[in-house]
């Protein structure tokens, strides 16, 4: 057997393995999709019939639409706060105090060092009453989600800053007559587009599915999508499957949009 034939067989084997793994990962999602479209499915291999009834019922439910919108408001609010606070912080650290980067790498891991349940109990004690009573409002979720998004955004944008060589880029802008803030706004910021898009997408994907903080700190007083899904767990399985598939396709659409915006313009 020639080397070319061996390479062809090896490439075919690798493709088969990849496709098998892809099908294994896709099978649960396909089953959920089929169940969400079935009229009934119990003792047979295939469903008795197909219908869009469950999707129509889901997307006509005002409670679901409210939970969906409230999840978007909290996620986008937390991400907007993250961008406003983290971008200037990263610029200052990497340009003026680069030695602080090692300390920041430790500090940004603290949100993951404390379990959400423990953090929620502490937040209930601090913000449950008094002048800063925010439990049950979206404001406390935005603050919590900011701390969750911080590690994702910090690492992605830091890698981008290291790739563009920030000091040399700023020196070149200064030589051309730009002030520090103009160089940061019109030279550095456009070069951070990819890192910013990646960090926003990763953070949004994680925040949109967050349940522990939302359930403990606000619950049904400001019902988010994951809390709604938990509260509807005893309803029809077809309805719940339609909800899961709708959530998946929304995240998939958001991923496609992020990838499309992240492409270099020719």
Residue 200 neighbours by CB under 8 Å, 6+ apart: 79, 83, 153, 258
Question: Could you read off the pLDDT of 46-94 as tens digits, one per residue?
Answer: 787 888 888 999 899 999 999 999 999 999 999 999 999 888 888 888 8
Burial class (CB within 10 angstroms; exposed 0-12, middle 13-18, buried 19+) of 104: middle
Burial class (CB within 10 angstroms; exposed 0-12, middle 13-18, buried 19+) of 6: exposed
- Cα separation, 107 vs 109, in Å, equals 5
pLDDT tier at 8 (50, 70, 90 boundaries)? low
Tell me, what's the pLDDT at 265? 47
Question: Could you read off the pLDDT of 87-144 as tens digits, one per residue?
Answer: 888 888 888 888 888 888 888 888 778 888 888 888 888 888 777 788 889 999 999 9
Tokens 């197909």 locate to 50
Question: Could you read off the pLDDT of 212-249 as tens digits, one per residue?
Answer: 899 999 988 999 988 998 888 777 788 888 988 998 88
Query: Which CATH architecture fits 53-262?
Result: Orthogonal Bundle (1.10)
**Domain residue limits, the chain:** 53-262
Tell me, what's the pLDDT at 196? 86
Asked if residue 76 lies in contact with residue 140, where contact means CB atoms within 8 angstroms, the answer is no
Burial class (CB within 10 angstroms; exposed 0-12, middle 13-18, buried 19+) of 36: buried
Asked if residue 31 lies in contact with residue 243, where contact means CB atoms within 8 angstroms, the answer is no
Tell me, what's the pLDDT at 266? 41
Q: Nearest 10 degrees: CA dihedral of 140, 146, 147, 152?
A: 160
pLDDT tier at 261 (50, 70, 90 boundaries)? low
Tell me, what's the pLDDT at 99? 84
What is the pTM (predicted TM-score) of this model?
Answer: 0.81
């Amino acid at each position: 057997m020639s080397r070319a034939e061996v390479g062809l067989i090896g490439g075919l084997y690798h493709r088969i393995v990849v496709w098998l793994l892809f099908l294994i990962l896709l099978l649960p999602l396909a089953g959920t999709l089929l169940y969400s479209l079935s009229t009934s499915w119990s003792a047979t291999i295939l469903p008795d019939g197909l219908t869009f009834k469950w999707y129509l019922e889901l997307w006509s439910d005002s409670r679901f639409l409210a939970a969906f919108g409230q999840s978007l408001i909290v996620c986008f609010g937390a991400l907007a706060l993250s961008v406003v606070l983290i971008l200037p912080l990263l610029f200052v650290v990497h340009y003026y105090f680069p030695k602080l980067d090692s300390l920041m790498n430790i500090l940004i891991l603290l949100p993951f060092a404390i379990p959400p349940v423990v953090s929620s109990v502490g937040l209930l004690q601090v913000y449950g009453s008094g002048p800063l009573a925010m439990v049950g409002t979206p404001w406390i979720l935005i603050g919590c989600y900011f701390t969750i998004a911080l590690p994702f955004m910090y690492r992605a944008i830091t890698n981008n800053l290291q790739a563009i060589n920030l000091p040399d880029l700023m020196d070149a802008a200064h030589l051309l007559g730009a002030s520090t803030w103009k160089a940061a706004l019109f030279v550095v910021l456009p070069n951070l587009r990819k890192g910013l898009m990646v960090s926003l997408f990763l953070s949004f994907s994680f925040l949109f599915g967050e349940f522990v903080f939302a359930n403990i700190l606000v619950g049904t007083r400001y019902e988010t999508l994951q809390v709604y899904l938990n509260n509807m767990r005893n309803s029809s399985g077809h309805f719940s499957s339609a909800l899961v598939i709708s959530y998946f396709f929304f995240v998939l659409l958001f991923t496609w949009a992020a990838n499309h915006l992240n492409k270099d313009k020719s």
